Amino acid sequence: MATNGLAGREQELEAKQRLERERSDRPDQEPEPELAQKHEQAREETISGSEALLRGLLAEGVDCVFGYPGGNALYIYDAMTGNPAFKHLLTRHEQGAVHAADGYARSTGKVGVCIATSGPGATNLVTGIATAYMDSVPLVVITANVPTTVMGTDAFQEADIVSITMPITKHSYFVRDARDLPRIVREAFHLAGSGRKGPVLIDIPKDVSNRRVVYRPYEEELSLNGYEAAPAIDPAAIDELLAAIAEAERPLIIAGGGVVYANAASELLAFVDRTRIPVATTLLGLGGLPSSHELWLGMPGHHGGYAANTAIQNADLLISIGARFDDRVTMKLDGFAPRAKRIAHIDIDPAEIGKNVKTDIACIGDIKDVLDYANAAASPARAESWIARLRRDKADFPFRYRDSETELKPQYVIEMLHRTTRGEAIITTDVGQHQMWTAQFYTFNHPRALITSGGMGTMGFGFPSAIGAQLGNPERLVVSINGDGGMQMCAQEMAVCAIHNIPVKIVVINNQVLGMVKQQQEIMYERRYSQIDLAGSPDFVKLAEAYGIKGLRARTKAEAERVWQEVLDTHAPVLVEFMVPTEENVYPMVVAGTTLDRMIMGDLG
């Protein structure tokens, strides 16, 4: 029987209502597409740019950030109060923060992270950024900046830190949109920690750090236009190197910091054992080959050993592995390695090939990959008579000094540190004579055991870098060796060790003078001494005690042995001051402008 239109519409409405009731009784059923989108939006989390930054850092596995707050960084620091998983160490100066992040990175192989506010906070990081850049250390440096609304007006604490640091960073980010932070953090860590490593800057205006955004973790595959982390190795070039080794009678390897940073120490050891080629390790390369190895010659260059420098000047094949032919290694370029028929260079950075020294064989790529390929086919060089000659040189002209029973010599102190720690400590140094004595008399058998500023030669680096190394290696003994000059540049960081009971052992080699400057003025400037007297420095023992740290002092060998044992028995930070003669110099020494075979041996040559 037919129904009229009204009845039909009523039936249709009743059917719809019944269908909706059935759907509501089945919550597991998929909702309509529009309804699903509304539900998804309701589940999306809205957070500040600062919180997005912290989450990005945690996603990268960051376990400690070193920093110092200020007005334009306060949204970032405020976000830390709501994120208990985020660990931050408050240093007493921004330079202390960046050096601590550097020490953490060098000793662990991870990316170090530091934070500072705008203006003077950011510019106080510049020396540390340059230090990391020169030595290829992976850092992510985060700076706050003034709000975008006042940029360019000379606002309070405004500085264009991106432009200031452009020559000393691997890459820089200026964050305009808080939604980009998850991607930027991910890219920054990738850039800092891959290829030839280095510092990356992230500059965040204050208003961007406070902007509310829908948080979406960056989970896409990274693809950075124009960036190649490591060029593919060229087997033909490596084969050419192996052929040159087979023909060489006086081959030599110079191994640099690139071996350490590439985690290629085991591959280098295998290569040396297979080819039977002697090795000199640069300052940053110390520990890249065990110093106990029979073919290790020591450190070459300005204050290098006789055997290493003589080997360079007489080698017929010179192979640089992760060393950039720094001027402190080559000294006068016109006269460097004059008997080398061929020079080979293994490096991840093509820009280093031929930059300072003409290269005949270029093996570009990750050092691990290059050596892995080479080790599969490497065979011994014809170098046994050469090895015997270099062994005699090393035995006849070791690093040595004129000991004393009435004075405490700095070299004796370094030997004592090595003997009592069995060479197993992580050693950080500042810059100066004590740095060179450490390189000469504390021999290293493991990579990442020496933390020191090489290319930049930054005074003030040694002690704060030890804080970072200790936090990155809590089970290791960390010893920071400093001069009385450099120690005063970051001494305020003793407060950090005291408050957090960071058990760094702080050594001050106190000769009451700017020792390396004095030595150069003595030898190169006819003893015209100028502005080097540090005799008015503070009492370091009392200074340590003022910060809440035990302080000890030694003036003789017997006192040195006794107080150092007390240091080792103390499970807390300790400062120990060793009073040493002002007149002591570092030898051998090659004067700037002369060749490696013109070594000044001192009165022991």
Q: Would you please indicate which residues are annotated as catalytic (active-site) residues?
A: 94, 156-157, 206, 516
Query: In 378-404, which positions are buried (b, 16+ CB within 10 angstroms) versus exposed (e)?
Result: beebebeebbebbeebbeebebebeee
Alpha-carbon distances of 1 from 9, 12, 509, rounded to whole Å = 16, 17, 111
For residue 551, give the H/E element and its range. strand 550-554
Gap between the Cα atoms of 383 and 141, Å rounded: 47
| Nearby residues of 165 by Cβ (< 8 Å), 6 or more positions away | 126, 129, 141, 172, 201
Gap between the Cα atoms of 144 and 50, Å rounded: 10
Task: Classify the C-alpha dihedral 169-171-177-183 as positive or negative.
Answer: negative
Residue from 357, 325, 364, 322 nearest 342 by CA: 357
Phi/psi of residue 552, nearest 5 degrees: -135, 160
- The position carrying tokens 């990316």 is 111
Gap between the Cα atoms of 280 and 296, Å rounded: 6
Q: Give me the helices (H) in 168-248, please.
A: 181-193, 206-210, 235-247
Structure tokens at 59: 């996603």
For residue 23, give the H/E element and its range. helix 5-24
Gap between the Cα atoms of 235 and 565, Å rounded: 53
Q: Is 368 within 8 Å of 516 (Cβ atoms)?
A: no
The answer to whether the bond into 588 is cis (omega within 30° of 0) is: yes
| Nearby residues of 297 by Cβ (< 8 Å), 6 or more positions away | 278, 279, 280, 305, 307, 308, 311, 390, 394
- With vertex at residue 531, the alpha carbon angle to CA 528 and CA 537, rounded to the nearest 5 degrees, is 135
Task: Classify the C-alpha dihedral 486-490-491-496 as positive or negative.
Answer: negative
Q: Is 311 within 8 Å of 297 (Cβ atoms)?
A: yes
